Amino acid sequence: MTSVRLRRETPVPTARHEGLGQVVVENVWKSYGQTLVLRGVSLTVDPGEVVGIIGPSGSGKSTLLRTINHLETVDRGSVTVDGTYIGYERKGGRLHELPERDVLKRRTEVGLVFQNFNLFPHLTALQNVTEAPVDLGRVAKTQARIEALQLLERVGLADHAGHYPRQLSGGEQQRVAIARALALHPKVLLFDEPTSALDPELVGEVEDVIRDLAHEGTTLIIVTHEIGFVREISDRIVFLDHGEVLEEGTPEQVLDHPRHHRAQEFIAKVR
Ligand code: ADP
Ligand code: MG
């Protein structure tokens, strides 16, 4: 298995985590048409905490992550990151949805890494990483390039900066996607099954990068079926089933001593 050594000698821009990155999900309900997907989910993630989310397919894991950065609206309840609503503002005791440009700005607080990488196919690895910070007017192009090269080096891909996604393996593409998410200095990083589209021998190189972020104290929320990995890096694990949090606790509590029979069945299957 390839292992990525992350270079520590270069100070690189990274997620902000000095006491930042608290996520509060409060009684969130969400339906698609007749399908009730989230049924009163509440979850608090403290700054620097690593929370693993596990649960059967269709239990609402992706939807929950998508509500956190307001890729989905909620029907009821609220989500804040360090006290800020990503997609809403409170006016007269009610939440009003913000205009798209404000949402885009606030959404940069929350990085999301997808199962299928979602890189821009027509851009090189370097351009994928510089695109958003330059587009949002965060930094000048030259500065963005310097930071992007540092980030690519950090995920072990300095010599692939000029490669297009089609010239990269799945593991390399996912590492570029992580570098791209970090380029906006998010307070929180969300991972939605970051290794499930990868060939087994490429899983380790992506997990190495995530592990390193976890050790640095970045606030992370990770949806994954890799039970060994989620046990190792999570401070807390949440088991979601039919849009409800059925278990929440330390990896040991949730994985070794689940109380709910649906959690017991699921864990027996995936371990
Ligand atoms: P998970 O990530 O745990 O597999 P999801 O959050 O993707 O679950 O989906 C939960 C449920 O919501 C599923 O039944 C899925 O079919 C449904 N769903 C998800 N996204 C949409 C959508 N955009 N439109 C309609 N139904 C959706
Ligand atoms: Mg999903």
Distance 244 CA to ligand 2 centre (A): 15
d(CA 208, CA 157): 13
DSSP single-letter state for residue 228: H
pLDDT in tens, 44-77: 999 999 999 999 999 999 999 999 999 999 999 9
Distance 80 CA to ligand 2 centre (A): 21
Question: By three-state DSSP, how is residue 249 classified?
Answer: strand
- For strands 50-54 and 35-45, give the pairing: unpaired
Residue nearest to atom 15 of ligand 1 (CA): 58
Q: Is the pLDDT of residue 180 over 80?
A: yes
pLDDT in tens, 74-105: 999 999 999 999 999 888 888 889 999 899 88
Report whether 41 contacts 72 (CB < 8 A). Answer: no
Distance 124 CA to ligand 1 centre (A): 31
63 lines ligand 1 (CB under 6 A): yes
Distance 235 CA to ligand 1 centre (A): 26
From residue 66, how far is each of 62, 220, 223 by CA, in Å? 6, 14, 12
pTM above threshold 0.90: yes
Of the listed ranges 133-142, 150-159, 203-212, 242-251, the one predicted with least confidence: 133-142
d(CA 211, CA 199): 19
34 lines ligand 1 (CB under 6 A): no
Percent of the chain's residues with pLDDT above 90: 84
With bands split at pLDDT 50, 70 and 90, how would you rate the model's confidence at 20? confident
| Average pLDDT taken over every residue of the chain | 92
Ligand nearest the Cα atom of residue 61: 1
Which is more confidently placed, 106 or 18? 106
Distance 120 CA to ligand 1 centre (A): 24
Distance 192 CA to ligand 2 centre (A): 7
180 lines ligand 1 (CB under 6 A): no
Residue nearest to atom 20 of ligand 1 (CA): 63
Ligand 1, from 35, 39, 53, 72: best to mutate by most atoms within 8 Å of Cβ?
35
Write out the DSSP string of 71-104. SS--SEEEEEETTEESSEEEETTEEEEPPHHHHH
Q: Is the pLDDT of residue 10 over 50?
A: no
The mean pLDDT value for 16-43 works out to 91
With bands split at pLDDT 50, 70 and 90, how would you rate the model's confidence at 15? low
Q: What's residue 16's pLDDT?
A: 52
Residue nearest to atom 21 of ligand 1 (CA): 32
Report whether 2 contacts 171 (CB < 8 A). Answer: yes
d(CA 153, CA 87): 33
- Terminal C-alpha separation, the chain: 21
For 209, counting Cβ atoms within 10 Å of its Cβ (0-12 exposed, 13-18 middle, 19+ buried), the class is buried
Q: Is the pLDDT of residue 4 over 70?
A: no
With bands split at pLDDT 50, 70 and 90, how would you rate the model's confidence at 8? very low
Q: What's residue 90's pLDDT?
A: 87
The H or E element spanning position 143 is helix 141-154
With bands split at pLDDT 50, 70 and 90, how would you rate the model's confidence at 19? confident
The torsion angles phi and psi of 190, rounded to 5 degrees, stand at -110, 135
d(CA 68, CA 80): 8
Residue nearest to atom 11 of ligand 1 (CA): 58
The residue to which tokens 């969130």 are assigned: 28
**Tokens representing residue 188 in the block:** 């929180």
E-strand spans in 193-233?
Answer: 219-223
